[in-house]
Structure 1
Amino acid sequence: MADRTYGDIPGFPAGTTFVNRAALTASKVHRPLQGGICGGIDGAESIVVSGGYVDDEDYGDELVYTGQGGNDPATKRQVADQELTRGNAGLARSQLDGRPVRVIRGAGGDPKYSPASGLRYDGQFRVVDHWHETGKDGFRIWRFRLVTLDGADLPPLPSGVAGPAERVATVVQRLIRSTKVAVGVKLTHDFTCQVCGLRLMTPAGPYAEAAHIRALGRPHDGPDVPSNVLCLCPNDHVRFDAGSIYVDATGVVRDSSSHAEIGPLRTSPAHTINPTQLAYHREHHVP
């Protein structure tokens, strides 16, 4: 396992600019001279967003980042499927561990949020979701949604201006999850996990988690309704979100690596589950 440094690098606060990749590497804000992800299966320290992948989406305080692999650097087009290995596995690991990822934007990225030249360190983000889909070029890509930890956008640097970019206050839109929906589903199942049947008890009463089958927010835009929610224990919630388990078309819970049957999804006549959302989860989250 490589030695990793998470979080800010002393002497290089958010907004620091770099003339080229060599200067960026020397700072250790992003160590590789080439490659958009600094990381491995144990986690990811940093990423560079510089227009190298046509499927990248930049919203300032939020990114939908395309993983590494299968890309022709000359054309910036995808020519092969991506795998959940190397840096891609590292970003997925960072989501599970809750570790921050340094985000660096390069001049080749979205001009609304990128520097006019060189590269700029834009602070720490967290990975909140990952999944796979067919990209614009027809090959499978892994995608990662990252959200800023500080709630502030860095505007583009004006041409010819060096030094840290000025920060501006912004309004950050956050998803409002319905407590009524979550509590209703958990009450229907008496706080019992629909996968393993575990009912956790605490001094304050039973505990379970409401797991959205099709995730809320970009780009999934799942609905916050009972038919898109499962009642799960914390362990199975993590396994489901990470794509380690899935529900097949017959309602059987299976292990993603072996497709072995774990058992039937526990259901209730009072809680209808939308099979379309389960199909979406299989298509986008199961490796």
Structure 2
Amino acid sequence: MAERIFGHIPGYPEGSLFESRAELRESGVHRPIQAGISGSQTEGAESIVLSGGYEDDADDGDLIIYTGYGGRNQSTGRQDHDQPFSHGNRALALSKQNGLPVRVIRGSKHDSRYSPPFGYSYDGLYAVEGFWHEPGRSGFEIWRFRLVKIPQKVTAGQGVREDPAEYSVARRQEMRVSRIVRDSAKARKIKALYKHRCQICGTRLSCPAGPYSEAAHIRPLGAPHDGPDTEDNILCLCPNHHVLFDNGAISVAKDLSLIGADKDDLTVHRHHHISLRHLAYHRKHLAVVPDFEREASV
């Protein structure tokens, strides 16, 4: 199997045009002949094609809300069942988690002013900045991915390969950190309330400059979630549990018991009111837990 490359393919700069999926495959820009997502559940997704096959796609150029894989009837092309969190969907989620760039290709049948008049165009690298699930236009559960264009000057190709056995000087490589750090007065107040102890595990990190913790927004800020930067939408978490919470591995039930964590209940200070509405949003759209757990906690 050819090496999986995350980043630009040498010889095919942004703006390259292709007549067919066969040409895309031959170039290595997008290898599958039919699938819209190229990747694996263990390495991540390196490329996607916007071909007009999914009715819920939204394309604003530098911002794309991409509909995941599956749920379509092979005969009619219509969405007639829920999409699974597996295959390409899980690969894209892994790219978000590990900060891997995704090549975006648009096809002429994709209904967007950014699509080429014929064939396919390679339109550069995007970062997967979030993923969630919700009912689509046809009423079935779909996975959605927020992809944001990465400026060309800070992009660098990456290859997934085993490190060489011999000792060598580490290569310098530009990396893009897509995580936005927000530390408003409200966030600082919540962290001080818990004395920087994680509400999930109780860990307090002591650094030379002082204690460290992170403010996790239950309902994410900004479009498409539009969560508020308010105290009832903030948790004080350690970095590990912040990552797990943001990526749907842990959620909180309406009785404040923890879903997907070893500990039974979330620690809540008597002066910290947490919105049950925001917790319900996280469970419904962001948590990746077995269906019976999700249904039991709604």
The two structures have a TM-score, normalised by structure 1, of: 0.86
Matched pairs, number: 262
Aligned equivalents of 2:103 and 2:194: distance in 1?
Answer: 40
Read off the aligned partner of 2:16 and give its amino acid letter.
T
1:229 aligns with 2:230: no
SS at match of 1:235: helix
d(CA) in 2 for partners of 1:151 and 1:7? Answer: 11
Q: 1:114 to 1:211 in 2, by over 3 A?
A: same
Q: Secondary structure at the match of 1:190?
A: coil
Q: For the Cα contact (< 8 Å) 1:22–1:33, is it kept in 2?
A: yes
Provide the secondary structure at the position in 2 that maps to 1:71: coil
Write out per-residue CA displacement over residues 60-80 of structure 1, whole angstroms, 9 at most, x where no aligned residue. Answer: 111111110111355442111
Structure 2 distance, partners of 1:75, 1:224, is 43
Q: Distance in 1 between the 2:29 and 2:123 partners?
A: 11
Q: Does 1:114 align with 2:129?
A: no
Task: Indicate if the aligned counterparts of 1:212 and 1:230 stay in contact, CA closer than 8 A.
Answer: yes
2: distance between equivalents of 1:107 and 1:76?
18
Q: Counterparts of 2:47 and 2:187 in 1: how far apart (Å)?
A: 34
Whether the 8 Å contact between 1:61 and 1:151 is mirrored in structure 2 is no
Residue 6 of structure 1 corresponds to 6
Deviation at 1:236, TM superposition (A): 0.6
| 8 Å CA contact retained: 1:103, 1:125 | yes
Separation (CA, whole Å) in 1 of partners of 2:223 and 2:21? 30
**Which residues in structure 2 correspond to 1:110-149 (within 5 Å)?**
110-149=111-150
Identity across aligned pairs (percent)? 51
Aligned position for 2:166: none
Map 1:144-183; keep pairs closer than 5 Å.
144-150=145-151, 177=182, 179-183=184-188
Equivalents in 2 of 1:2, 1:217: separation in Å? 38
User: Kindly tell me: are residues 223 and 37 of structure 1, through their superposed partners in 2, closer, same or farther at Cα, counting changes over 3 Å?
Assistant: same
> Structure 2 CA distance, aligned partners of 1:185 and 1:3?
46
**The one of 200, 203, 214 aligned to 2:205:** 200
**Counterpart of 1:170?**
none
Q: Which runs of at least 4 in structure 1 moved beyond 6 Å after TM superposition? A: none
Q: Which amino acid aligns with 2:192?
A: L
1:147-168 Cα distance to aligned partner (Å, 9 max, x none): 111189xxxxxxxxxxxxxxxx
Whole-angstrom distance in 2 between the partners of 1:9 and 1:199: 44
In 2, Cα distance between the equivalents of 1:120 and 1:2? Answer: 22
8 A Cα contact 1:63 1:145, kept in partner: yes
CA contact 2:59–2:112 (8 Å) conserved in 1: no
Match of 1:22 in 2: 22
RMSD of aligned C-alpha atoms?
A: 2.1
Between the aligned partners of 1:60 and 1:138, the Cα distance in structure 2 is 26
Task: Kindly provide the amino acid, as one letter, of the partner of residue 245 in structure 2.
Answer: F
- Return 5+ residue gaps in structure 2 as ranges: 154-179, 289-298
CA contact (8 A) 1:54 1:76 kept: no
Whether contact under 8 Å (1:254, 1:262) holds in the other structure is no
TM-score w.r.t. length of structure 2: 0.83
